[in-house]
Amino acid sequence: MTKKWWHDKTAYQIYPKSFLDTNGDGIGDLKGIISKLDYLKDLGVDILWLSPIYVSPFADQGYDIADYYNIDPRFGTMEDMEELIEKAKEREMYIVMDLVVNHCSDEHEWFKKACADPDGEYGNYFYIREKKDGKSPTNWRSYFGNSVWSDIPGTNKQYLHSFHKKQPDLNWENEAVREEVYKNINWWLDKGLGGFRIDAIINIKKALPLQDYEPDRADGLCSIQEMLSRANGVGEFLSEMRDRCFKPHDAFTVGEVFDEKPEELDSFIGENGYFSSKFDFNETIFGGSEKGWYDAKAITPEDYKHCCFAAQRHVGTTGFLSNIIENHDEPRGVSHYLPEGECSLEAKKMLGGLNFMLRGIPFIYQGQEIGMENTVFSSIDEVDDIATLDQYQTTLEAGYSPEEALNIVSRYSRDNARTPMQWDASANTGFTNGTPWLKVNPNYRDINVADQMNDEHSVFMFYKKLIQLRKHPRWKETIIYGTLEPVLEDEKNIMAYYRKGPETLLIIGNFQKDEQEVPLPRMPKEILINNYQEVSYDETRIHLKGWQFLVLEI
């Protein structure tokens, strides 16, 4: 395998709106990120992925872009962006931005021109169709509920939006659209970006001709997945984008890829793949239901283990997964994957360690490094996320009471990950001296950076140790390029796997409150990581306390 500069890196996702506000408007900004580069360097992360900071009306918190060439004033200026890229480079860190090109904002000039003249040049930048007998062109449901079609005022036409109606899909079949996208990618890469995280990229290829599919709810609509699963040929666009943009810049790219076809793995992330990596979403999507969040099945430790190993077995050494326990679209990992009420210090470290030592590139989402947890919503009015608000309605329509519906959506809401970063125990947790755009999690006095930076037993220090281990000259080759071999798979609530390279490491976690003993193949040579102070074992067995996590040289 050709070695690439990103293979041995650790990535960190910043949600700029909630990271640090420096001008008192309650919204995080670029100057806030710049002021924390040394904090991030101290943690040990190398790649910083910023969720979108382009000009946007924030209908979907910036994933609705109105100008791909400018920074939204609420985040700062282009000079701030250039300073961030420069100061990151001084620290051997790389800035990765979010490439959101399945759709733009309805306030983008392209869409305004399309609405003014739907049959003109810009009309073909989008999917615009005549309504048939007053009906929408197809019966697909958007990710945020209701039809994917909305009216173009003053016409009998509608435009397609896979997501929110303020996010019109771009027509990738139109070469002019592709050329606009490639020009923008290269413009940013020429400014010194390390690469991109690629948003909702499977969505850019639609199954043509556009047609109805079997409805899956009483509303007569069907999941958009029905269409996506029939779309073929996305690779033509992705290989063109790779060859015109990413490859010439040796850029790191990670695809937000749901529902790719298994046989396309090598094309996506292999030696000459469209992307450097793609996220492992197996654990994220487990238990989901087309009906809605209210119908989702909880994930158990055994489910989690099997999801991780299935993803690892599928990829093998074909390429590199990007491994996460959370992101800006998900609830907090420790609240989602640890059983109710088990968010202990040891359990948080175990979950982080088990994910971190998998084969692939580890991503830490802001706040994960200090063990931030889901927040509490006392009313649906405290929620700012369109996905959560849509799911709340769906849950009410399924017959749940408002308080039951609030309780259900609180468990899965994307806003759990978007509450302000918890810096210290001062007012508004040190995030802003104004009014935060989203309520601070009330547990900030117990969970914050300031308390953990100098506590050798903190979650922060544990992640710092994990990152140091990945960079350690003796172990890095094995951790980065070594194979992953599940072991003790039939032992309930034990998640264990070898990492085999020049050395052999055994990673083991007791994914339950109760202690248990498991067999060992031979006497471990060295304990590299332990989330407790001690551990007892001999050449045949190891005794694990509740939530105990270990990395052993064996």
Q: Which does 385 bind (CB under 5 to 8 A by kind): Ca ion, ligand TEU, none?
A: none
Q: How far is the CB of 321 from ligand TEU (least distance, A)?
A: 17
Which of residues 170 and 496 has its CB atom nearest to ligand TEU in the complex? 170
DSSP per-residue string spanning 455-476: -TTSHHHHHHHHHHHHH-TTTH
Which of residues 81 and 99 has its CB atom nearest to ligand TEU in the complex? 99
Q: How far is the CB of 546 from ligand TEU (least distance, A)?
A: 32
Running DSSP on this structure, what letter comes out for residue 9? Answer: -
Distance between CA 84 and CA 79 in Å, rounded?
9
Q: Which does 21 bind (CB under 5 to 8 A by kind): Ca ion, ligand TEU, none?
A: Ca ion
Q: How far is the CB of 17 from ligand TEU (least distance, A)?
A: 12
Distance between CA 124 and CA 137 in Å, rounded?
16
- Which residues here bind ligand TEU, judged by CB under 6 A? 60, 63, 100, 143, 163, 199-200, 256, 258, 328-329, 387
Q: Residue 399, class by beta-carbon neighbours within 10 Å (0-12 exposed, 13-18 middle, 19+ buried)?
A: exposed
214 belongs to the catalytic site: no
Q: Which does 201 bind (CB under 5 to 8 A by kind): ligand TEU, Ca ion, none?
A: none
| Contact yes or no for 106/113 (Cβ under 8 A) | no
Ramachandran angles phi, psi of 131, nearest 5°: -75, 145
Can you tell me which of 11, 17, 29, 463 binds Ca ion, judged by CB under 5 A? Answer: 29
199 belongs to the catalytic site: yes
Ramachandran angles phi, psi of 537, nearest 5°: -160, 165
Which of residues 278 and 328 has its CB atom nearest to ligand TEU in the complex? 328
Report if residue 25 touches Ca ion, rule: CB under 5 A: yes
Q: How far is the CB of 57 from Ca ion (least distance, A)?
A: 17
Which of residues 257 and 347 has its CB atom nearest to ligand TEU in the complex? 257
Can you tell me which of 23, 155, 344, 393 binds Ca ion, judged by CB under 5 A? Answer: 23
Distance between CA 516 and CA 546 in Å, rounded?
8
Q: Which of 98, 199, 280, 326 is catalytic?
A: 199
Q: How far is the CB of 93 from ligand TEU (least distance, A)?
A: 22
Report if residue 434 touches Ca ion, rule: CB under 5 A: no
Q: Which amino acid is at 89?
A: K
Q: Which does 526 bind (CB under 5 to 8 A by kind): Ca ion, ligand TEU, none?
A: none
Q: How far is the CB of 328 from ligand TEU (least distance, A)?
A: 6
If DSSP codes are grouped into helix, strand and coil, which group holds residue 69? strand
Report if residue 21 touches Ca ion, rule: CB under 5 A: yes
Can you tell me which of 11, 14, 20, 27 binds Ca ion, judged by CB under 5 A? Answer: 27
**128: which strand partners?**
159
Which of residues 23 and 443 has its CB atom nearest to Ca ion in the complex? 23
| Contact yes or no for 157/131 (Cβ under 8 A) | yes
Distance between CA 87 and CA 171 in Å, rounded?
37
Q: Which does 25 bind (CB under 5 to 8 A by kind): ligand TEU, Ca ion, none?
A: Ca ion
| Contact yes or no for 272/239 (Cβ under 8 A) | no
Q: How far is the CB of 230 from ligand TEU (least distance, A)?
A: 18
**Which stretches does DSSP call E strand in 40-183?**
47-50, 54-55, 67-71, 94-99, 128-130, 140-141, 149-151, 157-160
Which of residues 213 and 475 has its CB atom nearest to ligand TEU in the complex? 213
Distance between CA 26 and CA 36 in Å, rounded?
17
Q: Which does 143 bind (CB under 5 to 8 A by kind): Ca ion, ligand TEU, none?
A: ligand TEU
* Alpha-carbon distances, residue 531 vs 292, 348, 370, 448, 528 (angstroms): 37, 10, 15, 19, 10
* Binding positions for Ca ion, 342-381, rule CB under 5 A: none
Q: Which of 256, 260, 326, 342 is catalytic?
A: 256
All residues at 6 or more sequence positions from 313 whose CB lies less than 8 Å from its CB, including other chains: 486
Report if residue 186 touches Ca ion, rule: CB under 5 A: no
Q: Which amino acids are annotated catalytic? A: 199, 256
Residues at the contact surface with Ca ion, assessed by CB under 5 A: 21, 23, 25, 27, 29
